[in-house]
């Protein structure tokens, strides 16, 4: 849930560029590319109306999700292409909707994060100790 006593469920999207990262995190969608379209449609349909609260996926499925309703997007890795960053964390950000994106960034990928900050003319803040108030 989004907060104590809140009726708004937390909708979480975890995204990885590489399928192997998704496999390490969850076995559920590790083979999305080979799924039949009917199964892909079912997965995206279940996530949209919030009957599923957590979805772990690759960039392939992330483009099919209504990201405007996502409360929290976690990037297991950063897209190397700057233009793919905002579509990945949610089109809702572009419309002024509230949402939180957490980026896992190891030392060797800080350069990629700096490129995103420069490209979007913004600053990505470090993770606060108490993340409960973010969503």
Give, in order, the Cα–Cα distances in Å from 11 to each of 18, 57, 135: 22, 14, 10
Strand-pair category, 12-16 with 100-103 = unpaired
Are 29 and 61 contacting, i.e. CB atoms less than 8 angstroms apart? Answer: yes
At 122 the pLDDT is 86
Residue 19, pLDDT > 70, answer: no
Q: pLDDT, tens digit, for every residue of 39-91? A: 777 776 766 655 666 777 766 666 666 666 667 778 888 888 888 777 777 65
**pTM more than 0.95:** no
Q: Which CATH architecture has domain 12-126?
A: 3-Layer(aba) Sandwich (3.40)
Give the distance from CA 76 to its chain's centroid: 8
> How many Å apart are CA 7 and CA 14, to the nearest integer?
22
| Residue 18 pLDDT exceeds 50 | yes
So what's the pLDDT on residue 5?
Answer: 42
Cβ(14)–Cβ(67) below 8 Å:
no
């Amino acid at each position: 849930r989004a907060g104590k006593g809140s009726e708004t469920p937390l909708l979480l999207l975890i995204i990885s560029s590489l399928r192997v990262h998704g496999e390490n995190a969850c076995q559920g969608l590790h083979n999305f590319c080979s799924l039949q379209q009917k199964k892909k449609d079912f997965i995206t349909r279940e996530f949209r109306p919030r009957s599923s609260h957590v979805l772990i996926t690759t960039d392939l499925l992330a483009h099919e999700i209504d990201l405007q309703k996502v409360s929290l997007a976690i990037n297991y890795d950063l897209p190397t292409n700057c233009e793919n960053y905002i579509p990945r964390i949610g089109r809702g950000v572009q419309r002024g909707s509230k949402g939180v994106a957490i980026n896992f960034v190891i030392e060797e990928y800080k350069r990629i994060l700096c490129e995103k900050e420069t490209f979007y003319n913004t600053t990505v803040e470090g993770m606060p100790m108490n993340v409960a108030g973010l969503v």
